[in-house]
Amino acid sequence: MKTLKLNSGHDIPIVGLGTWRAQPEETEKAVHTALEAGYKHIDTAFNYNTEESIGEVVKKWTKEGKTKREDLFITTKLPHVGNRPKDVGRYLQMSLERLQMNYVDLYLVHMPFSFLGNPETHAPLTNEDGTFRLDVDNDVIGTWAEMEKQVEQGKAKSIGLSNFNLEQIEKICLSCKIKPSVLQVEHHAYLQQPDLVERCKKLGIVVTAYSPLGSPGANQHFSSKYNYELEDFPDILGHPTVGNLSEKYGKTPGQILLRHITQKGIVVIPKSLNPKRIKDNIDIFDFELIDDDIRMMNDLDRGEKGRIFDFLFFKGVEKHPEYPFKQRLTVDGEKISQL
Ligand SMILES: NC(=O)c1ccc[n+]([C@@H]2O[C@H](COP(=O)([O-])OP(=O)(O)OC[C@H]3O[C@@H](n4cnc5c(N)ncnc54)[C@H](OP(=O)(O)O)[C@@H]3O)[C@@H](O)[C@H]2O)c1
């Protein structure tokens, strides 16, 4: 498995298995299939409710001598309800207990904004009108200092950020002792963010692409869980350019999308519960897109209009001072989702 070197000195496998929206039993099966297929990297979060299942499979595999913990790369994330200095250690400890591990390879601040949460269920609290109860006092720099302590205590090998914009990343880089190793952001053919990627490269931060296939099925989830839908949800896997390249290279559309991203030195974490697709998604190292085809894929970028995860399904989140995608809300004064 190809890896990239992090500024912490550790290596991150360039393909990992995503686990968002997977039920516990499905997760166990998918992680098992993935480990058999050669995956070493699994992505989870406190909020996904997949940590326990991942922990079970890893425990079984290590007990049976089929893998060693140190050969795996496990990422989890500090939730939006725990995004404040005093909660960092507590939430990481809860994740470690769920994972049955004494360290994670990568701990990410899941989002720059924070909500007040129910202390029992860890669900965000809402107001009577359905808006989320914002914690506007969150201290981003203080939270990062606590993230650094997790490295010093050996509970996280590397630390990083997710869904932060460039300005927020640079602010942390100016005051930190330990630089973020990874930025995990939405990245696919329709949202390529070349400036952000370039800047991260200069800062020595590895980018991980979430939703690298365009997250088919996410709109249904937004609708059933939050009664929120994106107009014109994209079908990136079905784009004719991707189809043509799929025929040309004798690879699936998914493999073309993942190859395009990894060939730029970006990590991908596609989620699948389907054994064939789990295997296909890691089988992308026996071909290379030629420059003209890379350019054709680069041309699919729609900029901010390509963003799926603007988090507006958290009703009222755009009023949080750390909401990262303000430019998403309007283009020339018009709401972008109406364009
Ligand atoms: N940091 C964050 O805020 C954040 C946000 C979103 C996601 N993530 C992480 O990134 C991971 C990936 O993102 P995602 O789950 O949103 O979307 P994704 O990986 O782009 O797409 C997953 C969907 O595509 C299908 N699929 C998988 N492989 C395929 C292939 N080769 N061909 C056709 N369809 C395929 C899957 O269905 P089947 O299961 O039926 O194959 C699943 O419904 C997540 O699971 C999560 O770990 C992080």
Instruction: Write the single-letter amino acid at 38.
Output: G
Identify the residue with better confidence: 138 or 103.
103
Residue 331: pLDDT band (50, 70, 90) is low
- Ligand 1 atom nearest to 44, measured from its CA: 47
Atom of ligand 1 nearest to the CA of 258: 31
- Gap between the Cα atoms of 298 and 190, Å rounded: 9
- Beta carbon of 29 within 6 Å of any ligand 1 atom: no
Query: What confidence category does residue 138 fall into, taking pLDDT thresholds of 50, 70 and 90?
Result: confident
Ligand 1 near 274 CB (within 6 A): yes
Q: Is 143 in the pocket of ligand 1 (CB under 6 A)?
A: no
Report the separation in Å between the CA atom of 289 and the middle of ligand 1, taken as the mean of its atom positions: 22
Range 105-120 average pLDDT: 97
Reported as a single tens digit per residue, the pLDDT across 176-221 is 999 999 999 999 999 999 999 999 999 999 999 999 999 999 999 9
Q: What atom in ligand 1 is closest to the CA of residue 184? A: 1
> Per residue in 259-285, is it b (16+ CB within 10 Å) or e — as a string?
bbbbbbebbbbbbbbeeebbbbbbbbe
Confidence of residue 305 (pLDDT cuts 50, 70, 90): very high
pLDDT score recorded for residue 330: 66
Residue 216 CB–ligand 1 contact under 6 Å: yes
Considering only 138-142, 152-156, 256-260, which range has the smallest mean pLDDT?
138-142
Q: Tell me phi and psi for residue 122, to 5 degrees.
A: 65, 15
Ligand 1 centroid – CA 190 distance (Å) = 15
**Does the pLDDT value for residue 30 go beyond 80?**
yes
Q: Which two tokens stand for residue 50?
A: 């997949």
Active site residue 210: no
Whether residue 148 is predicted with pLDDT greater than 70 in this model: the reply is yes
pLDDT given at position 216: 95
Count of residues in the chain: 339
Structurally, the chain folds into a number of domains equal to 1
Give the per-residue pLDDT at 1.
Answer: 86
Residue 337: pLDDT over 70 = no
For a mutational test of ligand 1's pocket, the pick from 20, 31, 41, i.e. the residue with the most ligand atoms closer than 8 A to its C-beta, is 20
Q: Is the pLDDT of residue 315 over 80?
A: yes
CATH number where 86 lies:
3.20.20.100
Question: Mean pLDDT across the stretch 43-67?
Answer: 98
What does the alpha-carbon distance between residue 119 and residue 18 come to, in Å, rounded to a whole number?
27
- Which domain, by its residues, includes 321? 3-338
